[in-house]
Amino acid sequence: MHHLRIDVEHPVKVHVDNIGAKFLAENQNTSDRTKHVDIRFHFIRQHIQERTVKVEFLKSCENDADLFTKNVNGETFEENRRKMVWTRAEYEWAVQESTTGRVLEDVVHFPQKTSPYLT
């Protein structure tokens, strides 16, 4: 992101809902079953060793990206959509409530009960 002139806190957190993928990313051990792993996979290992990336496990039910990668029911779809897409009123409320000006980071820490929009 540096070449785009975007400041990023390191390590960048990568959330995965697969413990096996986390293990493979963090460990150099290989077996006959993992020798087929694409060379691009080693890119992540290198960044983990350099501490620019940190792989964290996230339960699938808490993974908002499932909205794009899995079939989800209507309730899960709506819950995840509301976390990603705000109406104008929701955004304006978040801007007013923000204490640092970093709205997307602050909104995570807002008490849910105070928001007329974020339920």
**pTM, full prediction:** 0.56
* Within a domain: 49: yes
- Rounded to 10 degrees, the C-alpha dihedral 119/63/9/52 comes to 170
Q: pLDDT (tens digit, 9 = 90+) per residue, 83-117? A: 777 777 777 877 777 777 777 666 665 555 455 55
Q: Which residue has the higher pLDDT, 109 or 1?
A: 1
Q: Is residue 16 part of a domain?
A: yes
Domain that holds residue 18: 2-63
Domain for residue 8, yes or no?
yes
Is there a domain that residue 104 lies in? Answer: no
pLDDT, tens digit, 9 for 90 and up, residues 30-80: 666 666 666 767 788 888 999 989 999 988 777 877 888 888 888 888 877
* Position 7 in a domain: yes
Question: Quick check: is 93 in a domain?
Answer: no
Instruction: Confirm whether 98 is domain-assigned.
Output: no
Q: How many domains does the chain have?
A: 1
pLDDT computed for residue 50 by the predictor: 92
> Could you tell me the two tokens for 16?
């995965």
Using DSSP's 3-state secondary structure scheme, residue 93 falls into helix
Q: Is 117 domain-assigned? A: no
